[in-house]
């Protein structure tokens, strides 16, 4: 398959769910093999021109799943974000077949742009099996998602490319249980966060696509448990952040086009790094996945950046008041 045949044009944004499905429909390149199976996929347009980490995680899982025996689904993955990706360029995925056992397969996946790795991942796949079973209980007293505002409800009034992207172009409907941290940090300074999430439209019945899409969504809000503890929002002036690594375990079957509760907490932050963990539950209380991620979070400490941040804060406050009056 050539690059053109692999569908490397950016997916359209009119239907976010269709965009997600196209992102996960990788093309295999013929005649481009060393000790790896080679796949290619498009990048999703982003207002800041950087590849969304959840996208490359999901696509890497799809690439790995294409090389394992039929019916063998991913149960865990560990990935490191090595470099920022360019959202205007396609991504090449190299899959190395580390092992195929009677029940398990291991794959190493590297995601490349222009010959340089942007993500390195090892994933493990397993045949369905039976054994002992227990699970963490879903928290009680959580409001139903229908009672909570959507991202479009919260950000649709802002005339800003990032706000428009978050409100209308993401494939997942995200609804915060605690006050959202998009433009301000309200409520108690606690190292926890919780959201409901599902795709806006129906997804195909392929279980691996649902697992990959869940990895995509798991990167949205996990670090908010770190931010909330310190009274910070995503637009805290002068703050810089980046995901460093991402680990995930799938426990039970899941559908991402049905409401899922994502409960997050941060056990530690230090050295400009914050650690966050999350548990994902189906609406009927099944614990379907667990996630962990460490992110770099830097805030200004010198006088020059503090002054710059104060000015940015005043500008943002003015824009927010203007939007509220509109």
Q: CA angle, 58 as apex, 57 and 64 as ends, to 5°?
A: 90
Residue 266 and residue 159 share a domain: yes
Residue 271 maps to a domain: yes
Q: What pLDDT, on the 0 to 100 scale, is given for residue 70?
A: 93
Provide the mean pLDDT of the chain. 88
Alpha-carbon torsion 311, 314, 317, 319, what sign?
A: negative
Q: Residue 31: which pLDDT band, with cuts at 50, 70 and 90?
A: low
Its domain, for residue 32, covers: 16-126
pTM of the model: 0.86
Residue 140 maps to a domain: no
Q: What is the mean pLDDT of residues 99-113?
A: 97
Q: What is the mean pLDDT of residues 191-211?
A: 97
Residue 122 and residue 184 share a domain: no
Which residue's entry shows tokens 């869940």? 214
User: What is the CB neighbour count within 10 angstroms for residue 72?
Assistant: 18
Residue 303 clears pLDDT 60, i.e. is over it = no
Determine contact, residues 223/242, Cβ cutoff 8 Å: no
- Least confident piece of the model among 16-25, 109-118, 248-257, 300-309: 300-309
**Start-to-end CA span in the chain (Å):** 50
Closest CA to 221 of 256, 261, 281: 261
Element (H, E) at 111: strand 104-113
Q: What is the mean pLDDT of residues 241-260?
A: 97
Q: Residue 304: which pLDDT band, with cuts at 50, 70 and 90?
A: low
Residue 112 and residue 36 share a domain: yes
Residues noted as catalytic: 219, 243, 293
Q: What is the mean pLDDT of residues 54-70?
A: 97
Percentage of residues in the chain having pLDDT higher than 70: 86
CA distance 298 to 271: 9
How many domains are contained in the chain?
A: 2
Percentage of residues in the chain having pLDDT higher than 90: 69
What tokens does 142 get?
């959580």
Residue 309 and residue 166 share a domain: yes
Determine contact, residues 278/290, Cβ cutoff 8 Å: yes
Residue 122 and residue 173 share a domain: no
226: helix, strand or coil: helix
Q: What pLDDT, on the 0 to 100 scale, is given for residue 307?
A: 52
What tokens does 86 get?
């360019």
Q: What pLDDT, on the 0 to 100 scale, is given for residue 144?
A: 97
Residue 95: CATH number of its domain = 3.10.129.10
């Amino acid at each position: 398959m050539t690059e053109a045949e692999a569908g490397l044009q950016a997916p359209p944004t009119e239907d976010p769910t269709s965009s997600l499905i196209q992102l996960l429909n990788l093309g295999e390149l013929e005649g481009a093999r060393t000790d790896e199976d080679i796949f290619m996929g498009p990048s999703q347009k982003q207002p800041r021109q950087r590849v969304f980490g959840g996208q490359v995680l999901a696509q890497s899982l799809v690439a790995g799943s294409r090389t394992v025996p039929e019916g063998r689904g991913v149960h865990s993955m560990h990935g490191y974000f090595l470099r920022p990706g360019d959202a205007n360029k396609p991504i090449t995925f190299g899959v190395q077949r580390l092992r195929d056992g009677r029940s398990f397969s291991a794959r190493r996946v590297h995601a490349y742009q222009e010959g340089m790795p942007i993500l390195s991942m090892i994933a493990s796949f397993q045949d369905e099996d039976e054994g002992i079973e227990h699970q963490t209980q879903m928290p009680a007293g959580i409001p139903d998602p229908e009672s909570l505002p959507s991202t479009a409800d919260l950000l649709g009034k802002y005339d800003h490319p990032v706000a428009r992207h978050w409100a209308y172009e993401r494939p997942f409907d995200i609804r915060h249980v605690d006050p959202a941290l998009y433009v301000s940090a309200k409520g108690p300074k606690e190292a926890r966060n919780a959201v409901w999430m599902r795709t806006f439209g129906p997804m195909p019945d392929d279980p691996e696509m649902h697992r990959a899409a869940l990895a995509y969504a798991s990167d949205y809000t996990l670090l908010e448990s770190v931010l909330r503890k310190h009274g910070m929002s995503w637009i805290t002036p002068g703050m810089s952040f980046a995901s460093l690594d991402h680990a995930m375990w799938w426990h039970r079957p899941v559908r991402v086009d049905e409401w899922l509760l994502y409960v997050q907490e941060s056990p530690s932050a230090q050295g400009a790094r914050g650690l966050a963990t999350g548990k994902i539950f189906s609406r009927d209380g099944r614990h379907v996945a667990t996630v962990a991620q460490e992110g770099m979070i830097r805030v200004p400490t010198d006088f020059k950046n503090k002054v710059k941040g104060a000015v940015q804060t005043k500008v943002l406050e003015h824009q927010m008041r203007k939007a509220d009056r509109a």
